[in-house]
Amino acid sequence: FYISAGGLRLGEADVFRADAPQYEERQELVQTKDGTTIIKYIYIDVTCHVTMDTTRAGVLSSITDSHTMRVSGTAVVARAPRQSRAKLLRVENIGLDSQLNLLFVIQQAELTFHPV
């Protein structure tokens, strides 16, 4: 995933473990000209390697700041008409088990994970 907040790219996350069960929060049926698209919102709780992009004097640094952290949120998954598989669109409503979470809450920045 790549991580964004407020339209800015902040880093990347790689899921390496899912210990907690995932469950569907809700489902929407969206009518399109091709048929009905099914959108599901699934609660997830996973452990990720998170690498934040860092800057030094306003220039993107090659130094990576990597952490292992628990990430929870809502995965938005859609299955288009005549498709056999659903596609992950994004993970929203992100919560981190890190002090970084407090920083984003104070700045009122909503984190979103996007599939790469």
Domain ranges in the chain are: 2-114
pLDDT at residue 7 in the model: 85
Place of tokens 């959108």: 39
pLDDT at residue 10 in the model: 87
As a whole number, the mean pLDDT across the chain is 88
Using the Cα atoms of residue 80, residue 84, residue 90 and residue 94 in order, give the sign of their dihedral: positive
Give the pLDDT band of residue 96 (cuts 50, 70, 90): confident
Whole-angstrom distance, CA of residue 110 vs CA of residue 92: 8
Q: Is pLDDT above 90 for 26? A: yes
pLDDT at residue 21 in the model: 93
pLDDT at residue 104 in the model: 79
Span 44-64, pLDDT tens digits:
999 999 988 776 555 555 566
In sequence order, what are the beta bridge partners of 45? 72
Q: Is pLDDT above 90 for 74? A: yes
